[in-house]
Structure 1
Amino acid sequence: MNLEDLKLNITDIIANDDLAVQDKLMEICTFLSNNVPYYNWVGFYFANHETKTLHLGPYFGAATDHTVIPFGKGICGQVANSNQNFVVPDVTAQDNYIACSITVKSEIVVPLFVNGINIGQIDIDSHTIDPFTEADERFLEFVNSEVAKLF
């Protein structure tokens, strides 16, 4: 499995005029989870800058209680403040980690920018310790650049 090979599928999902925005996001989450073996939970969070909270959007994976996350809390909340990718090779080593499931071993969060504003992020949990590489970061930046076209 080569992440580069998946890019065309992402552009095809974005270009599908038969799907609403939320359906495209769900399709992306499902596609990524089904095609990258160590992407065990894939979801989008969207920012409300007035309340300084993130709100869960479409996702694929186990149900989560974390539907609203304050900026600064957990990995996602930190990315909302920093506007930077955050790769966590081992979630047990993070002080400011919000545990979603005992099976989650690592996490990657990449911010989603529209017109230079961080409107949200893609969040991926893995049941594997330290699976994420720079290739994952670049690929997820590409995914978000495509998703940004929807807004």
Structure 2
Amino acid sequence: MSELKKRISVILEAPEADINTKLLKICQLLDQEIEYYNWTGFYFRNGDKEELVLGPYVGAKTDHTTIPFGKGICGQVAVSGQTFVVPDVHQQDNYLSCSMDTKSEIVVPILKDGKNIGQIDIDSHKVNPFTKADEALLEWICQEVGKKM
């Protein structure tokens, strides 16, 4: 994971790229390097509204381009500000299905000045693939992204 962190740092420090280009490159890198990441994307708070709007992502098209706070895993993380790992989405009551292939999900908040401004959302086609190393990597990514926002 340390090699991935180095490569992500290079992406985030690139002076010529705007933030959306950088975020898309991060999604692409994670998608290429971690085989059980099958949908990788960012959601961001829509101004002062209590909703999330889809940002850069890699994976199948989703109908969930706007998610109200509290709805689904992403909406819950928008409220709690805490990482949420769902080992099996079929066991989760408040799950928004994006794909029939999705079996698990991890959502990590992006905080700026203590406020939740967005999150990274990863879906997997495997049950329970996410490890503490995944959590640590994604939390680090979100911390670094928060510094750039």
1:66 alignment partner AA: H
Partner of 1:31: 29
| 1:85 counterpart (66, 83, 92) | 83
Q: Is the 8 A contact 1:10 1:146 kept in 2?
A: no
- Tell me which residue corresponds to 2:3: 5
Give CA-to-partner distance per residue, 1:63-119, whole Å, 9 cap, x none. 000000000000000000111000000000001000000000000000001111110
Q: Tell me the residue number matched to 1:51.
A: 49
3-state SS of paired residue (2:54)? strand
Q: Which amino acid aligns with 1:132?
A: F
Structure 1 unmatched runs, 5+: none
Selected match of 1:70 from 56, 68, 71: 68
8 Å CA contact 1:29, 1:58 repeated in 2: yes
Instruction: Quote the offset at 1:5 in angstroms.
Output: 2.2
Asked whether 1:118 is paired with 2:91, we answer no
Kindly state the Cα deviation for residue 18 of structure 1 after the two structures are TM-superposed: 1.6
Structure 2 stretches lacking a partner, 5+ long: none
How many residues align? The count is 149
SS at 2:41 equivalent: strand
Once residues 22 and 126 of structure 2 are traced to their aligned partners in structure 1, the CA distance between those partners, rounded to angstroms, is 27
TM-score by length of 1: 0.96
State TM-score, norm by structure 2.
0.97
Question: Which deviations, in whole Å up to 9, do the C-alpha atoms of 1:36-86 show, x marking residues without a partner?
Answer: 111110000001363210000000111000000000000000000111000
Q: Distance in 1 between matches of 2:120 and 2:72?
A: 14
2: distance between equivalents of 1:32 and 1:116? 26
CA contact (8 A) 1:42 1:61 kept: yes
